[in-house]
Every structure is written in structure tokens, then in C-alpha cells.
Structure 1
Amino acid sequence: MSTSTLNESALNEHDAELAKIAQRCIMAALDHSRAHKIILVDDNDQSGNPPTLEVPPQALRLFAEILGKMAQRQPFSLIPQKLLLSTQEAANILNVSRPFVVKQLEANKIEYIRVGRHRRIAFDKLIEYQNSMLREADDALQTLADQAQALDMGY
């Protein structure tokens, strides 16, 4: 995606506020009524019969998350779960270097397949790896905090 495309997709203040209001409405509907329908209203529609859109609650939650990111003017991307990623794409998602990802693959820390000479990583396997790394980091941080408490270091 080019920089100009990213700049063009930025919301103005009015659109960001509309996204925030829409997110609140969806979340309120999900919290109270287990709603699975959205009724779209067109102020100019004279038929009195607005179209009804039936959507699974899981999709409504996704819409709400997207609207929340839009309201905060944060960039986001959607990635299909069954997607196979190159080592560079995996590195971009993990925010690490490609050589680091290759080392993790060679150490069998991330499952992958070969397509010809190329390594491909399933998106769900990459997320499993990312979550395990986050858990390990949290555990290490907790261990350090416990040691600091035991040594009365003032933390």
C-alpha cells in the first residue's frame, strides 16, 4: 500500500466522530439484546420499508472493532486466517527482522511449509508463536518483579 493511499484513507474529524457513534451503537446492541440485525435507514427513502441486514454477532463485533480504530484514526489491516505468509510478511507482523524470523523457523519455533524453495508460514501459526512469546515475556517480567520484591529493592 502506498503512502498516498494511507493518507487518503485518513478520516476527518466528522467521519471519526460518526465511526465512534456507530461503534457505541453496535456495542450497545450486542450487550443488551444479542442483536443480529441492523436496520439501515435512508432519510430520503419514501417507501417506509428500510432494508434489513442480518449479520452474525461475531461480524458485528468485528465491525465495532474496525469502527473503533477508525474513530481513533488508527490504521488497521484485515488478514485472512488461512493466509500463508512469506518470511518478510511474518517479520512485518511481528515487528522483527526477516533474519530473526528465519532463525526461528530453522529452530522449529514457528511451524512452516515449503513452497518450492520458499518458506511459508500459516497466519494462525504465526499468531500462536506471537502469543507464546508475549506469555514468556510476561512471565519473565513477573519473575523480575518478584525478585525485586524479595530483595526489597523498592519496587
Structure 2
Amino acid sequence: MMSGVLDREMILDNKEDVELVKAAQRCIVGALDHSNAVNIAIMEDGVERVDDLPLLKLPPKVLRLFADILGSLAQGKAVAIMPKELDVTTQEAAMFLNVSRPYLVRLLEEGKIPFHKVGTHRRIRFEDVVQYKERRQQISLDALQQLADQAQELNMGY
């Protein structure tokens, strides 16, 4: 359930942890940029021999995901991981979009976001909510670009 995931979202609030995360991200990104590295050794403090450590084999896509997560954490952003196939309630979708539940229901009824019913309750695929949010952000960026272009054409000093 999405609310359970959001209740446990990860935020780093300690400078030491932020520095560790930044170092780990640099290490992973460096390995990905310079080779097809897929092995990670996890060492305990005080262990000096890497030969005795088991290696964790991961695909580069997974390492990139870890690097992206670490980057977000290092910037102080909250991180929550959930499957794209997850169905969410109207309240959970509204919270994710930062809109009211009645406004979200109107979007559903207007066909702007697909949904299905479980009994009498509306359910929305989380992936569809994310796609709607991305479309909305793109529309905003396009409008901002048009305003900037117009300001340039009119020599408004922007």
C-alpha cells in the first residue's frame, strides 16, 4: 500500500550520513562511467582483505538506480520506492499530486487519468498518476519557455 511506503520515506538528517552517501554515489558513478562494473564488495569496518569478501553482482541499471537514490538523499530529498504496478486510492493519488481529493476525482471523471473500480471504490495505477504528473510538468515547462521566448522577442531584458 502506498501510504505504508510514504510513511517510511527515507530522508537523511545528519551531516555525517550525507557525506557517506555522497562518497558512495561518487564511487558507484565512477565505476559505471569507467567500466562495465557489476561487482560490489561490502566490507565491515576493520576488514583489510578484499580477497575473502563475497562479491555482490548487480546489473549496471541497478547500480545506476542506487546512484540516483544516493544523489537524491545527498541533496536532502525524500526517497520512496514502490512498484509501478501498484494501485493507489484517490486519497493517495491526490497526496502524490498535491491536489485535493475532489479535484482528483474530477480529473478521473473527465478521463484525464485512467482508473478502475474495485467494488464502489476508484483505484488508479500509480504509473498513470506519475505519467499525469510528468505531462503536467511538461506543459508548465513549455508555457514557461514560450513566455521566455516572447520576452526575448520583445527585448524585455530577461
TM-score under structure 1 length normalisation: 0.84
Aligned to 1:146: 149
Quote the residue 2:16 is aligned against.
Answer: 14
**Cα drift, residue 11 of structure 1:** 4.1
1:50 equivalent to 2:53? Answer yes
Contact 2:11 2:77 in 1 (8 A): no
SS in 1 for 2:129: helix
Q: Residues 99-155 of structure 1: CA distance to partner in whole angstroms, max 9, x if unpaired?
A: 221111111010111111111111111111111111211222222233333344333
Deviations 1:11-40 (A, max 9, x none): 422222111111110010111112111012
> Does the Cα contact within 8 Å between 2:11 and 2:73 map onto a contact in 1?
no
- Identity percentage over the alignment? 47
User: Deviation string for 1:36-61 (max 9, x for gaps)?
Assistant: 11012233477941111011111111
Seen in structure 2, the aligned counterparts of structure 1 residues 122 and 25 have a Cα distance that, compared at 3 Å, is: same
Closer, same or farther: CA 112–17 of 1 in aligned 2, 3 Å? same
SS at the partner of 1:153? coil
Q: Distance in 2 between matches of 1:135 and 1:47?
A: 47
Q: Distance in 2 between matches of 1:153 and 1:45?
A: 63
CA contact (8 A) 2:12 2:74 kept: no
Specify every segment of 5 or more residues in structure 2 that has no aligned partner in the other structure, as ranges.
none
Q: Is the 8 A contact 1:23 1:67 kept in 2?
A: yes
Match of 2:78 in 1: 75
Looking at structure 2, the residues matched to 56 and 31 of structure 1 have their Cα atoms a distance apart, in angstroms, of 14
Task: Point out where structure 1 has 5 or more consecutive residues left out of the alignment.
Answer: none
Q: Is 1:103 equivalent to 2:106 in the alignment?
A: yes
Partner of 1:39: 41
Take 2:47 and 2:93, find their aligned partners in 1: how far apart are those partners? 47
With CA pairs under 8 Å and 6+ residues apart, which has the higher RCO, 1 or 2?
2
Write the letter of the residue equivalent to 1:15: D
Aligned match of 1:92: 95
Q: Does 1:127 align with 2:121?
A: no
